[in-house]
Amino acid sequence: MRNHPVSINDIARALGVSASTVSRALRDHPDINAETRQRVHAYAREVNYRPNALAVGLKHHRTFTLGIIVPEIVHHFFSSIISGIENIAYGKGYRVMMCQSNEDHEREQLNLQALIDHRVDGLLVSPSKTTADDRHFRWALNAQVPLVFFDRFLESVPSDRVVTDDLQGARIVTTHMIRRGCRRILHLAATQQLMVGRERCQGYLQALEDHGIEASDELILLCDTPYKVEAARDRILQLAPGIDGIFCVNDFSAVAVIKLLQEAGYQIPGQIAVTGFGDDPIASIVQPRLTTIEQKGYEMGQEAARLLLARIENQETEADYQTKIFPVTLKVRDSA
């Protein structure tokens, strides 16, 4: 007893014309008599006609829908990117379907699959940390679905990319710490699987080298979540007396380590300076306020959407893949 939505055929029947006439009238086809057009439009809006996106998509092989996959929506950085994407997409008449992978490889595959099954016109994705192989992405590529990576990407998958200048960011913030007098700087790093993690670590190492400070494996800990910071508590407290700064791969670890050190009686930044990366809202709430690297999430999202739409609307021109590197800004606050 479901109230079936009105279709073009219903309108045609009601008005005593053919379905094709209705279809044309609705799209303001020039051939159609002005009066017929009026009648169709009037009736359509009277009965609240809405085209069935499924049928249109099936017919056109085009859905005006973009698929987004992010690791976790909760992160402010990712939600800013999403807002940026939506901003551009809506302006051009596209809708978005978004999914989260929860940093899970399998979930990412499932999502990608589902989006392609739904015939999205293009994909915007930031791969999960646990994404080991690239089969699903190659499959998408093979299915000719335009793909743009943002923030994170798989090097083995040729595609457009929109990323932060992680290397420079890490270098700048580490240099800032060195200028403030730090000499023994611990780095809480991300897994080196993704480029982001490696670049931030590289930037840190380069800054040390720039200033003739010797790096040490001991001073690099894989610790990119508050949870892992807690798990590494003993190790960190053991290192603490011998260090004067910590550069964390993201703001969440930074906040966690600040808390941990404060509980252990350390003065931040007095005894140990701490910096993060990302400029999450918590960075300006934690005490001391966190010195960190600002990333342009919203703008990155806009750019990613622009690149994708350009690919979609120019499928024939196989332009070279581009990598847009977004510059970063050092936000000096109180923690370093």
Partner DNA sequence: GTGAAAGCGCTAACAT
Partner DNA sequence: ATGTTAGCGCTTTCAC
Q: Which residues bind DNA (CB under 7 A)?
A: 4-5, 7-9, 16-21, 23-24, 26-27, 31-33, 36, 51-52, 55-56, 58-61
Asked if 66 and 89 count as a contact pair (C-beta separation under 8 A), the reply is yes
Query: Any contact of residue 90 with a second copy (CB under 8 A)?
Result: yes
Asked if 239 and 186 count as a contact pair (C-beta separation under 8 A), the reply is yes
Output Rg (C-alpha) for the chain, integer angstroms.
Answer: 26
Query: Any contact of residue 157 with a second copy (CB under 8 A)?
Result: no
Q: CA-to-CA distance for 271 and 290, rounded, in angstroms?
A: 15
14, 15, 26, 114: residue in contact with a second copy (rule CB under 8 A)? 114
14, 51, 321, 332: residue in contact with a second copy (rule CB under 8 A)? 51
Query: Any contact of residue 100 with a second copy (CB under 8 A)?
Result: yes
Task: Report which of 265, 106, 276 is spatially closest to residue 190, judged by C-alpha positions.
Answer: 276
Q: CA-to-CA distance for 324 and 243, rounded, in angstroms?
A: 36
**Residue 217 token pair:** 């494996």
**Residue 196 token pair:** 């982001």
Instruction: For the sheet with 65-70, list strands across it.
Output: 95-100, 65-70, 122-125, 147-150, 160-164, 323-326
Q: Which stretch binds a second copy (CB under 8 A): 107-115, 148-156, 264-272, 302-310?
A: 107-115
**Residue-wise burial string across 18-46, b where 16 or more C-beta atoms lie within 10 A, e elsewhere:** eeebbbbbbeeeeebeeeebebbeebbee
Nearer to DNA, 5 or 158 (CB): 5
Q: Checking DSSP bridges between strand 65-70 and strand 122-125, what pairing results, if any?
A: parallel
Asked if 72 and 102 count as a contact pair (C-beta separation under 8 A), the reply is yes
65, 109, 159, 174: residue in contact with a second copy (rule CB under 8 A)? 65
**Residue 47 token pair:** 């009965």
- Give burial (CB, 10 Å; 0-12/13-18/19+) of 241: exposed
Binders of a second copy among residues 251 to 290 (CB under 8 A) are 255, 281-282, 285-287
20, 27, 42, 54: residue in contact with a second copy (rule CB under 8 A)? 54
Nearer to a second copy, 125 or 182 (CB): 125
Query: Any contact of residue 58 with a second copy (CB under 8 A)?
Result: yes
Please choose which of DNA, a second copy, none residue 9 contacts, taking the beta carbon within 5 to 8 angstroms, the exact cut-off set by kind: DNA
Sign of CA dihedral 171, 174, 178, 179: positive
Query: Any contact of residue 95 with a second copy (CB under 8 A)?
Result: yes
Query: Any contact of residue 74 with a second copy (CB under 8 A)?
Result: yes
Q: Which stretch binds a second copy (CB under 8 A): 138-146, 162-170, 187-195, 217-225?
A: 138-146
Please choose which of a second copy, DNA, none residue 109 contacts, taking the beta carbon within 5 to 8 angstroms, the exact cut-off set by kind: none
7, 23, 36, 80: residue in contact with a second copy (rule CB under 8 A)? 80
Q: Which stretch binds a second copy (CB under 8 A): 10-18, 24-32, 72-80, 211-219?
A: 72-80
57, 104, 172, 222: residue in contact with a second copy (rule CB under 8 A)? 57
Contacts of 310 (CB under 8 A, 6+ apart): 319
Binding residues for a second copy (CB under 8 A): 1-5, 48, 50-55, 57-58, 61, 63, 65, 72-74, 76, 79-80, 82-83, 86, 90, 95-100, 102, 110-111, 113-114, 116-119, 139, 142-144, 255, 281-282, 285-287, 315-316
